[in-house]
Homo-oligomer: A and B are copies of this chain.
Amino acid sequence: MSEIGLYEAMSTLRAVRRLKPDPVPDEVLERVVRAATWAPSGANVQPWRVVVVQDPKKRQRLQELYIGPWRQYAKGHAASIEQLEGEARARQERMIAAADHLAEHLHEAPAILVFCFEPRRMAITDAGLDRPSVVGGGSVYPAVQNALLACRAEGLGCTLTTLLCFAEDEVKALLGLPESWFTCAFVPVGYPRLRGHGPISRRPVEQMAFRDDWGTPFTADSNG
């Protein structure tokens, strides 16, 4: 099998929320979690672990815990969508429909990756700042992104959700996490029901990248 190219994988990694219940071979899942282990982390501590949930009863329980927070979130999101028009609105509505499907069928995903982290192993450099801290995520989400990209390479649908953090105590009990470990990402994985990965919709580079000063677009032909 010839390997998918890096840029091709990154540029076609969609959130795939409609998954077949068909099992995913263990050796495929092992490649996905191995890809996660390759990610960088602060001082190379790798302060994360992943629980691959395949047990049907545990997946069922995760779905029960997920549906409430999802409905709450969707309610708030619906209000913000009403302010959109045209294709932007249609795109958000399609996303919500797919996410609704995921919430109702989460237990049917043959594997749910639950990423966990231990904060005491992290040097969280923005912990003392007067704004929300994100730096702890710098030692876990690169690993999650590697796993998503590996799913893309393996033809597996996947999406990253963090809504189950609202039920963290229950998830910890369900999977037997030690007291000092917590949850940070949930990735349902399975073969796509529909077309799966493909074109993605993102802001152009000139809106996302600046040169030297905030607001000065960075593009290859913008250098005075």
Interface size on A, residues (CB 8 A): 105
Q: B200, A38: Cβ atoms under 8 Å?
A: yes
Of all chain B residues, the one with the shortest Cβ separation from A140 is B134
Query: How many angstroms between the C-alpha atoms of A127 and B184 in the bound complex?
Result: 12
Q: Within 8 Å of chain B (Cβ to Cβ): is A44? A: yes
> Beta-carbon contacts of A128-142 to B below 8 Å, as 1s and 0s?
010111111110111
Q: Which residues in B have their C-beta under 8 angstroms from that of A95?
A: 43-44
Q: Within 8 Å of chain B (Cβ to Cβ): is A153? A: yes
What DSSP secondary structure best describes chain A's contact surface?
mixed
Q: Which of B3, B49, B148, B214 contacts A7, CB < 8 Å?
A: B3
> Beta-carbon contacts of A182-206 to B below 8 Å, as 1s and 0s?
1011000000000000001111110
Q: B44, A125: Cβ atoms under 8 Å?
A: no
Query: How many angstroms between the C-alpha atoms of A135 and B115 in the bound complex?
Result: 12
Q: Which residues in B have their C-beta under 8 angstroms from that of A178?
A: 214
Query: How many angstroms between the C-alpha atoms of A204 and B165 in the bound complex?
Result: 27
Q: A138, B125: Cβ atoms under 8 Å?
A: no
Q: Which residues in B have their C-beta under 8 angstroms from that of A129?
A: 165, 168, 182
A residues neighboring B (CB under 8 Å) = 3-11, 13, 15, 25-27, 29-31, 33-40, 42-44, 46, 48-55, 58, 69, 73, 77, 95, 117, 119, 122-127, 129, 131-138, 140-142, 144-146, 148-150, 152-153, 159-160, 162-163, 165-166, 168, 175-178, 181-182, 184-185, 200-205, 208-215, 218-223
24 contacts between A and B (CB under 8 A): A6-B6, A7-B31, A7-B153, A10-B35, A11-B35, A26-B220, A30-B218, A33-B208, A33-B209, A44-B201, A46-B203, A50-B218, A51-B212, A73-B123, A124-B132, A125-B163, A125-B165, A126-B182, A126-B184, A129-B182, A134-B134, A137-B140, A138-B160, A138-B184
